Structure 1
Amino acid sequence: MTTSIPKFSPGEAVTEKDGLIHGLSAQELQLLAEQCFEAKTKAYCPYSLFRVGASLLLNTSSPTTSASHIITGANVENASYPVGTCAERVAMGSAIMAGHRLGSFKAVGVSTDIADFCSPCGMCRQFLREFLGLDTPVFMFNKEGTWIVRTMGELLPLSFGPDVLPPREEMRRRGGEEGEDKAKTA
């Protein structure tokens, strides 16, 4: 089953600042949308029949029309249901393997075949949180191409990420102190 690329439009009021939509040019938003819709066509979902496509727009020094600044993923299911992988984690895993890290991503796009908007699942929100700034926009496209957007921080409020962990040196020190305390009480 293929998906024709729809005309993309906001599903809620959008405030543009300096001609940008949540920090993206109209050209970047169009490319993000097209790529996550295209990725959805590659989903392997014979059990749920629920196709999901994801696209990650990379931060670049200049806007481009090239899809090379987008990394995509689709959901991949398995007969052992919990072993399946969501589109967002497939895309982010590919990005990490390509050498991208925190700060590399400008926006995320997610598309499904349903009329309503579908956000990343809880596991994907936590996974994305590891590599996205809390202000990174996540565009969620329905089957008609209408979208809503929320920031990573809005999708995962009061989140736990690498920034809340103490520095490694402090963790090592704490680990050593706990080991000493345990030895003293034994």
Structure 2
Amino acid sequence: MFLAQLAKGINSYFKLNEGVAKKMTVKQEWLDCAVEALAHAYVPYSNFPVGACLVTTDGKMYQGVNIENASFGLTNCAERTAIFKAISEDERTFQHLVVAGNTEAPISPCGACRQVMAEFFDPQMPVTLVGKDGATKTMTVEALLPYSFTDKDF
């Protein structure tokens, strides 16, 4: 049912930070990329897979998954895996991030991922969050973390 809902295509409309309405479109292939990544997550402890798809401004897609560790603090989230993968290949300009999980509501990034997003993404870049039944929510990086720590803070 989830993939069938996604196959219909999803366009999300949300109000941005200052109440200005703006259309933020997410392409079906980006949704598919994030959902397909779920199958590659390494989650032997939580059984809570998360997949991500980071899209560069030239359209290249980087998948990321959460990777758990017996020393739980060393676990890495899907969002950061996708970001670090892209950065390691010298990518620096991005247009969209999609994050998919098996949650009832659209999955929400943790605080660490939000801070890393703020480091590498434009504050107005859209992030689409996807739940297991295809429910989505699209918002900006700034809406996810309105008071991020930046290089201007030191």
Task: Give the alignment's TM-score, normalised by structure 1.
Answer: 0.71
Among candidates 7, 19, 23, match of residue 5 of structure 2: 7
Larger Rg: 1
Among candidates 91, 95, 99, match of residue 90 of structure 2: 99
Tell me how far apart the structure 1 counterparts of residues 28 and 99 of structure 2 sit (CA, whole Å): 13
- What corresponds to 1:157 in structure 2? 146
Q: Aligned pair count?
A: 145
8 A Cα contact 2:10 2:27, kept in partner: no
* Counterpart AA for 2:42: Y
- Which 5+ residue runs of structure 2 have no aligned equivalent? 15-21
- What corresponds to 2:68 in structure 1? 77
Tell me how far apart the structure 2 counterparts of residues 114 and 165 of structure 1 sit (CA, whole Å): 35
SS at 2:36 equivalent? helix
Using the TM superposition, give the Cα deviation of residue 55 of structure 1 relative to its aligned residue in structure 2, in angstroms.
0.6
Alignment of 1:19-30 (within 5 A): 21-22=23-24, 24=25, 29-30=27-28
Among candidates 31, 42, 45, match of residue 43 of structure 2: 45
Kindly report structure 1 stretches of 4+ aligned residues shifted beyond 6 Å.
Answer: none
Change (3 A) 1:148 1:4: closer
Tell me how far apart the structure 1 counterparts of residues 124 and 13 of structure 2 sit (CA, whole Å): 16
Among candidates 77, 83, 88, match of residue 79 of structure 2: 88
Task: Give the alignment's TM-score, normalised by structure 2.
Answer: 0.85
SS at 2:5 equivalent? coil
Among candidates 95, 103, 120, match of residue 114 of structure 1: 103
- Which 5+ residue runs of structure 1 have no aligned equivalent? 167-186
8 A Cα contact 2:2 2:133, kept in partner: no
8 A Cα contact 1:6 1:144, kept in partner: no
Tell me how far apart the structure 2 counterparts of residues 158 and 120 of structure 1 sit (CA, whole Å): 15
The structure carrying a bigger strand percent of its residues is 2
- What corresponds to 1:34 in structure 2? 32
Alignment of 1:135-174 (within 5 A): 135-162=124-151, 164=152
Tell me how far apart the structure 2 counterparts of residues 59 and 145 of structure 1 sit (CA, whole Å): 25
8 A Cα contact 2:52 2:99, kept in partner: yes
Among candidates 48, 52, 55, match of residue 57 of structure 1: 55
Tell me how far apart the structure 2 counterparts of residues 158 and 165 of structure 1 sit (CA, whole Å): 11
Identity over aligned pairs, percent: 33
Give the alignment's Cα RMSD to 1 decimal.
Answer: 2.3
